[in-house]
Structure 1
Amino acid sequence: MKKCYSAFSAIIFLAIFCTSTTSIAQLNFMPRGSQMAKVMQRIGNTDVTIVYSRPSVNDREIWGALVPYGMNNLGFGTATESPWRAGANENTIFKTTHDLTIGGKTLPAGKYGLHMIVNEDNSATVIFSKNHDAWGSYFYKPEEDVLRVDVETKEVSHVEQLTYDFHDVNANSAIASLSWERKQIPFKIETDVTNNVLAEVRQQLQTTPGFARQSWEQAANFALNNDGDLDEALSWADAAIAGQFFSQKTFNNLSIKSQILAKQGKTSEAEALMEEALPLGTVFQVHGYGRQLIAQGKHDEALEIFKWNAKAHKGTWPVHYGLARGYSALGDNKSTVKHLKIALENAPAQANKDRVAANIAKAEKGEAIN
């Protein structure tokens, strides 16, 4: 029995030794000709990442040669027809933290193998495969495709090393592009930032951030200003104002609630709430509210707010600057100049003085300062 055990141990040791030597022989930290790269772009709160290897042109013919047109049998692996790996070495990997829309189709949040079919007629198909662990496209299976998008390619100035980048980035979208030699393959990615953020807000309000009043105010304000559900926004504002251990009535949360009510068409309730908020506001918060009314075209109401601020915070900066803005909105240049000159005297910093002086010059020529 002892001899059998020893023989079995020897076999196990030999297997481990062979495995170990094989692993050691395959050093994965040696420099490669096609260097690994990673590029990431945030769109709203969505992180989109592309991980790839960067071959060089190196005086080679690329399109239709090194990268054959169409689908091809690569002579290795299990695939009888394969697209291009859209890079070198392992799968090019495309990752997104939230759902995307590409070519009018949905790509769910996740990690994908990125492949491309490049055609001779300046078109290409971008493929997102749920298999992201394979080496290149040798094991490509069409049934593992999650999304295919047809795009037009562009001619660009020479790009020696294959490069992915993001451009035309805005609040909800970006263009992701592969550029190599004189060809660019762009595809537009879009995401619903408002719904993404609100989904995370709902989740986070159930965790540590939910124990702070400011989190509920931020949530309500975001929904208000990004076409979220106004009833939900109102419930968040109400939680910040009263009923919870962290609640506290402030100018900020009353102002947010007032704006929500106004957007719901409840004008009288919104105005009453702002009257309640004014005594809780700082001179700067009330000044900001007056400017907000000017921007909304409510010039008479704005002047009344600036007058209230001047009375409640007599002689402080920037009450006279506010009065000047209020009178300017109504076209009263004489009163505008009068209050600007007082504002110049009590401006706290040179930058403030310079701004007021510039507005005095405009008002003396009969120009509006708002």
Structure 2
Amino acid sequence: MIKNLLKFCLLLLSFQLAFAGTVKAQLTTLPRGGNKRASVSEGIGITNVTINYSRPGVKKREGHIWGELIPVGFTELGYGAKKPAPWRAGANENTTIEFTTDVKIEGRDLPAGRYGFFIAYDPNECVLIFSKNSTSWGNFFYDPAEDALRVNVKPVKTEKSVEYLKYEFADQTASGATVQLQWEKLMIPFKIDVDVIKTQIASFRKELRGDKALPALWQGWNQAAAFCAANKTNLEEGLMWADSATSFRFGGSTSFTPWQTKAAVLDSMGRKAEAAEIMKKALPYADQFEAYVYASGLMAAKQTKEAIAVFKMNYQKFPDNLFTNLGMACSYSAMGDYKKALEYAQKALPQAKGGNKLEVERNIRDLQNGKDIN
């Protein structure tokens, strides 16, 4: 009887252990089937694109992947949703792709968000599916009613075989990239495009309603206004942002940079006379470096008379400093008086360090050889 009781206790214990394993979280183990977990991401403008997936291997199945292991079209799995399902575009868990802003996929709009990614393979044209369901296991619970977007792309045969499935970003530009799924001797590409201007402006609007718009933080307002000026876009709102940056409330009323930005916005709007008046107001707020950079920009724009006036004003305010000496050297060089320009460049040499010193040395050589340094 004791022997039978012992057997019963052991059986009960094994049952309890088995039951406990079904209701508690499993321990961390290697991925099922040896399929490697992976993640790849890329920034397009301010948009982050992230793909999470598992990487099945070819495992000596060359020539039997596409059309066999990965069937053509939609197949009945007999489990889960029990609807014809596409391939999970990877292995194990659902492959997901996430966009932090709205994007275009092959020219079609797709809102920001996290999507389950599926592919209905066909040797002539694949159907790429972005599903609103990104949390289900694999493709067993795929439901076409949850599709956010479908696009068609042509697969591309490759000469080199890829053992483990991978996603890569290629053909990157400032506003787009091509995602390439590569496995065995096939690549399935799709293009992602972002409206960089639109997404950046939308981001500015959102952030300037939060803690980055607090008083004494003119820099954020200035950054948004400067972007508008540089890209000649959203200028009316850009001017309002510049007004905030130069206001007393946000701490920029006596800073050169936000006033310069406001002038740039006005100039982009074609209001050049107002821009010029703003710069007259801004210059007294400039330090020696800011004034030097501004005057150098005028010189590069062939506004020589205006540049010389700023260089001289800067020297009167900050006499015998590195950038004011350089400014005077540029002024006399522009007037053809290389001897006088050389005097100021030589005064600047002991004040310069690092890259600035190398630049001054080059200027001195040019002036000694009778060359304009502007």
Task: Provide TM-score, normalisation by structure 1.
Answer: 0.85
1:315 partner SS: coil
Match of 1:240 in 2: 245
Match of 1:342 in 2: 346
**Aligned match for 1:361, one of 361, 365, 373:** 365
Deviation at 1:351, TM superposition (A): 3.0
> Residue 180 of structure 1 aligns to which amino acid in structure 2?
W
1:55 aligns with 2:60: no
The one-character-per-residue Cα deviations of 1:138-196 (angstroms, maximum 9, x if unpaired) are 33233322112222333253222111122333332222221112222221212222222
Match of 1:9 in 2: none
Distance in 1, matches of 2:178 and 2:331, equals 44
1:274 aligns with 2:279: yes
2:322 partner SS: coil
Match of 1:143 in 2: 145
> Residue 61 of structure 2 aligns to which amino acid in structure 1?
R
Change (3 A) 1:65 1:319: same
1:311 aligns with 2:316: yes
Kindly report which structure 2 residues correspond to 1:283-298, keeping only aligned pairs within 5 A, or say none.
Answer: 283-298=288-303
Kindly report which structure 2 residues correspond to 1:185-196, keeping only aligned pairs within 5 A, or say none.
Answer: 185-196=188-199
Whether contact under 8 Å (1:165, 1:176) holds in the other structure is yes
1:229 aligns with 2:234: yes
Distance in 2, matches of 1:69 and 1:360, equals 72
Kindly report which structure 2 residues correspond to 1:1-370, keeping only aligned pairs within 5 A, or say none.
Answer: 20-24=20-24, 27=26, 29-32=28-31, 33-61=34-62, 62-121=65-124, 123-154=125-156, 155=158, 157-211=160-214, 212-242=217-247, 244=249, 246=251, 248-326=253-331, 330=334, 332=336, 334=338, 338=342, 341-365=345-369, 369-370=373-374
> Residue 102 of structure 1 aligns to which amino acid in structure 2?
I
Task: Provide TM-score, normalisation by structure 2.
Answer: 0.84
The one-character-per-residue Cα deviations of 1:41-98 (angstroms, maximum 9, x if unpaired) are 2222222111111111111132222222333334444344322111001210111111
> Residue 323 of structure 2 aligns to which amino acid in structure 1?
P
Distance in 1, matches of 2:71 and 2:194, equals 33
Change (3 A) 1:110 1:28: farther
Whether contact under 8 Å (1:331, 1:368) holds in the other structure is no
> Residue 193 of structure 1 aligns to which amino acid in structure 2?
V
Distance in 2, matches of 1:72 and 1:339, equals 83
1:81 partner SS: coil
Matched-pair identity in %: 37
Match of 1:7 in 2: none
Change (3 A) 1:23 1:213: same
> Residue 299 of structure 1 aligns to which amino acid in structure 2?
T
- Pick which of 130-139 and 250-259 moved more: 130-139
Return 5+ residue gaps in structure 2 as ranges: 1-15
Distance in 2, matches of 1:343 and 1:153, equals 66
Distance in 2, matches of 1:336 and 1:101, equals 59
Change (3 A) 1:148 1:316: same
Change (3 A) 1:321 1:338: same
1:322 partner SS: helix
Whether contact under 8 Å (2:292, 2:311) holds in the other structure is yes
Distance in 2, matches of 1:343 and 1:207, equals 48
Deviation at 1:364, TM superposition (A): 4.7
Change (3 A) 1:65 1:322: farther
After the TM superposition, list the runs of 4 or more consecutive aligned residues in structure 1 that deviate by more than 6 angstroms: 16-19
- Pick which of 56-65 and 278-287 moved more: 56-65
1:318 partner SS: helix
Match of 1:4 in 2: none
**Cα RMSD after superposing both structures:** 2.7
Distance in 1, matches of 2:267 and 2:165, equals 53
- Pick which of 161-170 and 47-56 moved more: 161-170
> Residue 210 of structure 1 aligns to which amino acid in structure 2?
A
2:179 partner SS: strand
Whether contact under 8 Å (1:318, 1:343) holds in the other structure is no
